[in-house]
Each structure stands twice: as structure tokens, then as C-alpha cells.
Chain A
Amino acid sequence: MEPPGILALEIRGERLLLHPVRAVVWPARRTVIVADTHFGKSSVFGRHGIAVPDGTDAYDRERLAALLAQTQAQRLLLLGDFLHGALDAQQGAARDLALWLRRLRGVCVALVTGNHDRTAAAGWQAPVNWQGDELIDGPFRFTHEDLNDSQHFVISGHVHPVVTLRGLRKHRLRVPVFWERAGGLVLPSFGSFTGGYRVEPQGEERVYAAGPETVVELKVARRARP
């Protein structure tokens, strides 16, 4: 059994664990998968005169390092938008991230390219294994945003999916979700300084809400449609 709060999925014969920190763990491959970390976002804002406090990057690095340690992962798979924009190699954001990557000894960090990574390529080159647009492993194709694949189950990011739960009156609860669609799973964005895009699950799609401590399946997908 998994520790409390974690939800297990069986996909194409592989067991994937959905973590409340908005990450997927693939135990058989000792891999941790996250999407849309958007590191360096506060620096990009700061350079344009918009004051965002330091700490979001550090907070996200800590969460990620803790998960890697806890799962004893050997590989960290980043599904694109690792960086938010071009960073200055001399500045704090890039230096801190480089230091952190160096400290992840024994963990292979692989990145499939996202749209923000392409913009970021103009600046600091992150020392990670760039995989190009996709990585195929077992029954899975890992990519940033492309979904069409008849052969593989596609695991991706980019969308930052959230679901709005409507309660009494105007009670609205926005929750980041793992969004399971036909032939694919979209991860919630990992970065704590990232917004969300509201999705409305259709038909057989399923969504799993990532809360502070637990992952809960929302049965909203079963909403009857005439």
C-alpha cells in the first residue's frame, strides 16, 4: 500500500503514483515526473519592475528534493517549461538552480522541451539532459504539450489544469488536477508561482485533485450529458 494521501493508477500495466505535491512517481523506473516548474519566474518579473519576492524557487526546489529523497528516485523527468524565461547565468536564480542540480547526485535529470524553455534558451543553459520534444519509455511518451499518439500513452504538462468546484451559492473552489484523458495524462503545474487553466472534463475523462496533503478523485467526469 502507498502512504496516505497518494493515489495509485494502473496504466498499460504500469503503476503510477499521483502525489499531492503535484508530481507523478513511477516506482518501477524509480522516476519522479513533474511538469511546468517555471523556475526563475520571479526573476523575470523583477527585471521588468514587478516585485515578486524571492522564495518561490527555493520552496519548489525543496519540495522536489524532498520527494526525490523520499522515493529514492534515480531519475527526475521534467515535462517542459523548466525555466520561465531567459535567465542571466551570473544572477541568483540561475546560480541557485545550478547548485541545486549539482547536489542531486545520483539523480539523472531529463528535460523535454516546453515553449518557455525555447525562449529561455537565449540565456543560461541549464545543465540537464535535454531530450528534445519527447522521450519514449516503456508504454509512455513524455512530452510538453503534444497529445496525439496511437501507440503510446502520452504524459504531458503545459495546460496547468485546474477544476472549479461549485458549492452552495457562489462557493467556488479551484483545485489543481491531474487530468486523465483518452490515451493521456496531463499533470498539474508544479511551480508554486504558476496559475491554472480551467478545464471541464468530458465523457470518460477523469480528474484527480491535488490538495495540500491528499490526492482525491473528483467524480465530476461522470456528469450526465444528454
Chain B
Amino acid sequence: MSGARIAALRQYFASQGREPFDFQERMWRAYWSGESGLLNAGTGSGKTLAAWLGPVLDDAAPSQKGLRLLWITPLRALARDLEKALLEPLQGLGSKWRVEQRTGDTPSARRTRQCANPPHALITTPESLSVLLSHADMTASLGAVTSIVVDEWHEFLGTKRGVQLELCLARLRALAAARGQVLRIWGLSATLPDLPDAMRTLLGPGRAGTLIRAPEPKRYEIDSLLPASLERFAWSGHLGLQLLPQVIERIARTRTTLVFTNTRSQAEIWYQAIVSTQLDWLTTTALHHGSIDAKIRRRVEDGLKSGALRCVVCTSSLDLGVDFPPVDQVLQIGSPKSVARLLQRAGRSGHQPGQLSRVTVVPTHAWELVECAAARHAAEVLDLEPRTGLTLALDVLAQHLVTLATGEGFTAAAQLAEVRGTHAFAELTNVQWQWTLDFITRGGSALQGYPEFRRVEVVEGVHRIAGVDLARRHRRAIGTITSDASMSVSWQSGGRLGTIEESFVSRLRPRDVFIFGGRVLQLMRVRDSIAYVQLAKSKSRYVPRWQGSRLPLSASLGRALLAVLERRERGEVSDPEMILMEPLLRIQEQWSAVPTSGHLLVESLRSREGFHLFVFPFAGRLLNEGVATLMSARAAREQPRTFSITTNEYGFELLCAEAFDVGEATLQRWASPEAPLDDLLASINASELARRQFRDIARIAGLIDPGTPRKSKTARQLQVSSGLMYDVLQRHDPENLLLEQARREVLTAQLAYQELTDVLARMATQRWLLMQPPRFTPLSFPLWADRLQTQTLSTESWRTRVEREAQRLERRAAEH
């Protein structure tokens, strides 16, 4: 049986002048024998056909209408390309499958048609899948699904979208089981350190799966664009355009180039810089990032495919699937952040199996030279960053349960079994389950009143949404990606350019000039949440900032960085970046000391601002913040104090208005790996961390109204900040499990408790170099100057803080 199918597929491949890869055939056979599993393969390896042709050949000429396959993609921007890729082989195979997509961008008329007459295969996102589950009339269609492909599973893993997807898959599995069918689920993933674990997370605990690996097709080369000398090369800053001339030269030399940046702002700035010096490149250079309107992005993607563009400046928006021919060179502006991501970006060049993939890092400040050398060493030994699935995200569970209640409803016992079948909720306790049910039916635990609350009601044992208005509001709120309130940017004369954060627009006045979407724009007016703009003649003054999640330096890369410095200490320096760095490292050595794997650097000094303590664990931004929070909380417990905590990828600064003891014994007591859990929990309460984390939880769990595009009277009445909600819950329902979740998320996700204890343990074994440099050093200066991420931790009374800040204001006023 499968022999005949394999023959048919080989024949089809031969007609294309190719033959199937071994891993593709293994994948088809596994599918036909009813297995689920995970395929590990890179972009451009043929993974799409490996996952697609199995189901298609299973039933090439479907006699019945109805949905059979769902293809889940992390980015709706990818849906269109996927649709093409899936349609392409159908004709040659004589298949009658209908393929459509359904995302947030799909027009409502088409969505209605899809309900009445569903295609055989539907390409969609986890959010749109949730919305489908919230429509009772889609249940029958979804129940007919027999196979699911989760594309780019590594992108979902470890995120709340991943949890949402796990819950949706559990639902679909139950719907299939009700029809006596077995759902086949296949994930496609890039290389991860623990692939079996990634597969278990996708399929749920205790379910067998088949892991198939495509051979690593590529060799990688990582180098960097070196400044002529380090003199005048900044010690810090992330927008540094110093190497612009060399970047332009590199772009001019090759046919096609991708310029990756780490943030959308950085992409805007580099695009502007390139086209304003190379006017004749204006039509062949483009900008691509997530806030640019989808239509414009598509034009850019088409340009990449047709070869009309020579250079595209982009962010992670082009990291994933978007299918286009390999480019000739890939440049990475600024820190690579993570080895895995750098390799993924490198993979955009030299797509063919066996070909060399190469990426050139363009440092924006001196220390990124060391990062580049470190990334190269880590890539050689494939020391990649691990990713593990989140667990017990009750906010996502609450949202999902309301989604099901909005759809055909659920009964408690069956639903609990279904939910526990996922990796995310396998360990869900009865108490947590009951609380979540109470939360959606009563507002919170039975011990606490929630006046007049109505959301989900239980009628004869079935949980259903309590009204059509609530259903409508819930569908609008579905989704776990949260971002700041955003505004459309449109031409005065009509036509949308993209979205921008409301907080940025609110700081602008009409006539102010800013750059967006690669253009210099003037704000004309703001109306109905739309910022109307026209082209500006003057030079730009502002660059929008998007909150987005900035990726921290990975622990792997941090370790590699210290290892490189350790090698230098031993006199084993061969990397060109390190040779160039030498003078700066000498300065660091003269004024203070150079940290290594075995030596923890601590610097303290006094300035007009107050008393500074710098510590450099090189653990990445989030873990550094964890260490900083712990140390300052322990310090503030010994004596009431207020600390300003600033972190970057290499270390952190504790700033205090008054001097404090920085002796080795004191500091090591504050950083002790003994019983960090209790102290951390206490510090999370004292700091603003949990409050900050609660923002996303409140939105996902439905404690914050998503609002309507046009703000109605009701929407205005329901406006509340997550901070206020947090305070009210703290005071009146302190046992609320969402508060506990916020603390737990800070602990596990943000401070990465497990990794944090590793860092503390490592610090305890390192030799501490306590230096008192005469001025800010090459390592501490960036922390002082950039102040990228600062929070406050205080144990002082309200009055002390208010009075000190008021006095400070007075002093400053007097200086004027």
C-alpha cells in the first residue's frame, strides 16, 4: 500500500527533476502508519513537502467535502506563502485538495464561507484556531480533522502561545476521538538541544511519537565587520552607525543582502542611513518589520523573491519561514544575542544542502566584538540555547475555558481530563482547576465575593458564556500576544502605513517629524486612534520605539563570552575581534580588572548621583536583573533603603543615594546561593517585578477590557490599568491565583529561578575582584550611560521617599 504511494511520489519528484530525501520518505511512511511526531529540519530543507504529501496521498481525491488538515503557523504573514507552497505539488499529483488560509487578516465574507463550505486544508494561527473553537457551528468541521502540522514549533515552545496551542490540540484530539478517529500531529522544528523533550511537549505526556531528523545540511561561518581601529569606536550604545560606510561597501559588492537588526527602531535608523547616503538605491532597498502594514511587507517579500531588491533591512520578521531564494550575504547589526538565532539568520544565505551559510556581525559598540568571537566558538560546538514548554499558565487556561464556553460549552470532569492531557497542565492540581473554574464563573475563589459577576454560567452541568455581548468581547480578546495600545499610521490622503505605539504618538505634537516605515513623516493630526501623516521636508527628529520583547543575551553566549576572556588571560588569542579589542581590555585592566570564567568583577564608585555598585555576572539581562533584585532586597532588608537597579546583558548597577558597605563579606552575604527562594519571593513583592508581569496576565485572563476600536461609553466605563487591578486584588483578594501566577512567572520565566540558582552558585565559586576604579570603566560606562532597563526596589517609608524626591526637585530648580 505505502509502496505504491512512495512510487507515486518518487515519480512526481522525478518529473520535477529531483528525488525525495530519505527523511521525507521516512516521514511519509510514519504518517501512513498512523504515527505522530516531530521533524527536525531547517528552512529550505524540504520539510514542507515532508509534512504535506503524507496526508495528501492518504486521500488524494477526497470524495467528501470537509476539513482534514490544519497547518498551524506562528506568523500570519507566512500564511500566503504557505498556501502557494502547499498548492504547488497538488496538480502534478492529481490531487483535488482545496487549500485556504484563515488568519486575523482574512475578510469576514470569506470566513463565513469557510464555515459553510470548509476547505480540505486550512492554514491558520493559534489565535485564529481559538476563535474557530469559540464558534459552536464549527465544531462538526473541526471534528473531522485527522491531521495537524505545527510549523516552526520551536517558535511556540516556551511561550504562552505554545500553551494556548497545546490546549487547542487537546480539544481537537478529543473531538476526533468522539468520532472514533485518531489525530495525527506533526511538529516541524529547527534544531534544539533537547528535541525529544520538544516532541513530548507538543504531543502531551505519555504519548508515543516518532522523531525524525533531516541531516544537518549546512556548514556555518561567522565573522565580523571590523572597524579600522578601536579609537573613536563607542563603548556602548546600540544604534552606532560607525560602520555604515563599510556596510554600504559590502552591500554594493554583492548582488543581494539581508541586513538583520535586533529592534524595529534600529531597522528604521539603518534603513534611513543607507538610503540617505545612497540615493540611487532607493528603489532597490527596502525595510521589513512587524509594525509595517501587511500589504507593504508583502511587496517587499515579492521583491525578494523576484530579485528586484538588492538589500532589505529587517528584524525577526524575516527570521521565519517567509520563503525566498537564499541571499548572497547576511549582515547582523549589533549583538547576535543567541547562538541559535544567529545560525538561523545565517541560514538565509546558501540554502542548498551542503552549501556554506555565512553571517557577518556588524558590531555597534566595542564589546560586541567579543560577543562575535564568543558566538563563533559556541557555534563550533553547537552550544545552543534550550527551550522548554511553560507550565500552569492559569491565565491562558482561563481564556481557553471561556473560549470553549463561548463555543459549544464543556462539562467540568471531561474538560479536566482533556486539560491534564497537555504538557502545560499535566500537573494541574484540583485546587488550581477549581479556582480557574470559579474564576470564570464567579470571578474568583468562593471565599471572596465578586459582585454581580457574570461571564460563564453553568446550565445542567454545561459551562456556557453568559450572553452574546460577553461572547463578542471575548472573541475580540482572544490571543496571548499582548502589546501596548497601538495606533494606525495613515497618509493624510488615505492608505495605511502600519502601526505605532500609542505611548510614542502621545509624546508627539502636530508638525513633529519622525521616521516610520522608512520614510520621514510629519504628524498632522490624531483622530479615532489613527495618526495622520504626510511626507516631511525637514530632517527627522524622533524614532519610534516599540516595546516588543527584546531578546536577552543567552546564558550560552554569556558563558562563551567569559570563556573567550579567559582564553585571552591565558594568552591564547587568535580571533581578529579579540586582537582589535586588546587596547580597550588593557584600559579595563588598568582602571579595574577584566572578568573571566573564574573571576567575578565588582566595581564601586561614588558620583554626584550617589553611590554605585557594579557587578558583572555576564548572565544576560534577565538573570542579571534577578541577581540584582535579590542582592538589593537582602541589602534593603538589613536597613531601609531605596535602590535603582539598572541592568544590561553583562552586568548590573545598584545605585543608592547614600553610601553602603561594599566589603567582600557583605556582598557575598547578599549574593549567597543559600535559600534564595524565600528571599526572592520577598524581593518580588518589594520590587515592581510582579506588578509589571501582571500586565500580560490581566489581559490574557480577561481582567482588562480590550476595548473597541471606537471607544463606546461602556468601554470608557470599563477602563482600568493593570496596576490598579493588581493593587485591588492584593488588598481584597490576596489569595487570587493570578497574583500567585504573576509571582511565579517572575520567578520562573523572568528571573528563570533554576538558571538563577546556577548563576548564584557559579558566583559563589568565582574569585571576586573588588575594584574601586577612579572613574566609570569600559564595562561600567555602558550601564551608567544607557540605562536601558531600570527598576526600583524600596523598603523606605512613603514619607521618606516623597520628601527626598521633593527635595531633589527643589535643589534642581534652585540650580536653574
- Could you tell me which A residues sit within 8 Å of B by CB distance? 42-56, 59, 84-85, 88, 91-93, 116, 119, 165-173, 175, 192-195, 209, 211-214, 216, 218-220, 222-224, 226
Contact = CB atoms under 8 A, between A and B. Distances in A.
A29 to B, nearest CB: 30
A53 B735 CA distance: 11
Contacts of B177: none
Contact of B466 (A42, A49, A53, A85): A49
Contacts of A47: 452-454
Given A218-B806, A226-B816, 18 more contacts: A46-B454, A48-B470, A49-B454, A53-B448, A53-B736, A55-B732, A119-B713, A167-B804, A168-B609, A173-B802, A193-B720, A213-B798, A216-B799, A219-B806, A219-B813, A220-B809, A223-B813, A224-B816
Nearest to A54: B449
Contacts of A55: 448-449, 731-733
B25 interface: no
5 contacts: A50-B702, A52-B703, A92-B451, A169-B655, A213-B799
Contacts of B736: 53
Nearest to A46: B453
Nearest to A84: B717
**5 shortest interchain CB distances as A-B pairs:** A51-B443, A55-B732, A54-B449, A46-B453, A49-B455
Given A51-B439, A223-B809, A46 B452 contact: yes
A46 B803 CA distance: 39
A32 B426 CA distance: 56
Nearest to B451: A43
A53 B730 CA distance: 10
Most central of B450, B790, B792 by chain A CB within 10 Å: B450
Interface stretch (B224-232, B483-491, B721-729): B721-729
B732 A54 contact: yes
B569 to A, nearest CB: 33
A175 B806 CA distance: 12
B520 to A, nearest CB: 30
A51 B444 contact: yes
Given A170-B644, A224-B813, A49 B470 contact: yes
Contact of B452 (A88, A167, A168): A88
Contacts of B473: 48-49
Contacts of B798: 211-213
A46 B799 contact: no
Nearest to B455: A49
Contacts of B639: none
B810 interface: yes
B81 interface: no
Nearest to A211: B798
B808 interface: yes
A34 B653 CA distance: 43
A53 B444 contact: yes
B802 A53 contact: no
Interface in B701-715: 702-705, 713-714
Contact of A56 (B470, B714, B732): B732
Contacts of A219: 806, 809-810, 813
B454 A195 contact: no
B133 to A, nearest CB: 18
B791 interface: yes
A45 B473 CA distance: 13
Nearest to A42: B451
Contact of A53 (B450, B469, B646): B450
B762 interface: no
Interface residues of B, number: 59
B451 A173 contact: no
Contacts of A167: 642, 644, 792, 801, 804-805, 808
A46 B644 contact: no
B80 interface: no
A158 to B, nearest CB: 14
Given A53-B732, A59-B731, A216-B799, A170 B787 contact: yes
B193 interface: no
A166 B805 contact: yes
B14 interface: no
A224 B809 CA distance: 10
Contact of B729 (A53, A165, A195): A53
A192 B803 CA distance: 23
B677 interface: no
Contacts of B655: 168-169
B813 A171 contact: no
Contact of A171 (B452, B721, B792, B816): B792
B451 A85 contact: no
Contact of A173 (B718, B791, B805): B805
Interface string B323-357: 00000000000000000000000000000000000
B644 A54 contact: no
A175 B642 CA distance: 17
A59 B720 CA distance: 19
B657 interface: yes
B651 to A, nearest CB: 16
B386 interface: no
A195 B449 CA distance: 22
Nearest to A165: B805
A53 B443 contact: yes
Interface in B618-670: 642, 644, 646, 655, 657
B451 A91 contact: yes
Given A49-B453, A52-B725, A56-B728, A195 B644 contact: no
Nearest to A172: B792
Contacts of A168: 609-610, 642, 644, 655, 657
B798 to A, nearest CB: 5
Most central of B473, B714, B732, B736 by chain A CB within 10 Å: B732
Most central of B451, B644, B791, B792 by chain A CB within 10 Å: B451
B537 to A, nearest CB: 29
B452 A93 contact: yes
Most central of B474, B728, B733, B787 by chain A CB within 10 Å: B728
A166 B790 CA distance: 13
Given A49-B702, A56-B732, A195-B720, A93 B799 contact: no
Contacts of B813: 219, 222-224
A46 B799 CA distance: 35
A169 B644 contact: yes
Contacts of A46: 443, 450-454
Nearest to A166: B805
Contacts of B455: 49, 51
A50 B703 contact: yes
A165 B720 contact: no
Contacts of A44: 717-718
Contact of B802 (A49, A192, A218): A218
A54 B801 contact: no
A66 B718 CA distance: 29
A175 B798 CA distance: 10
Interface in B775-807: 787, 790-792, 798-799, 801-806
B784 to A, nearest CB: 10
A159 to B, nearest CB: 15
A209 to B, nearest CB: 6
Given A43-B452, A170-B644, A48 B439 contact: no
B714 to A, nearest CB: 7
Contacts of B469: 48
A181 to B, nearest CB: 19
A173 B796 CA distance: 12
Contacts of B443: 46, 51-53
A171 B813 CA distance: 18
Contacts of A48: 469-470, 473, 705, 714, 718
Given A119-B717, A168-B644, A51 B799 contact: no
Contacts of A170: 644, 787, 790-792
A193 B806 contact: no
Nearest to B402: A49
Contacts of A84: 717
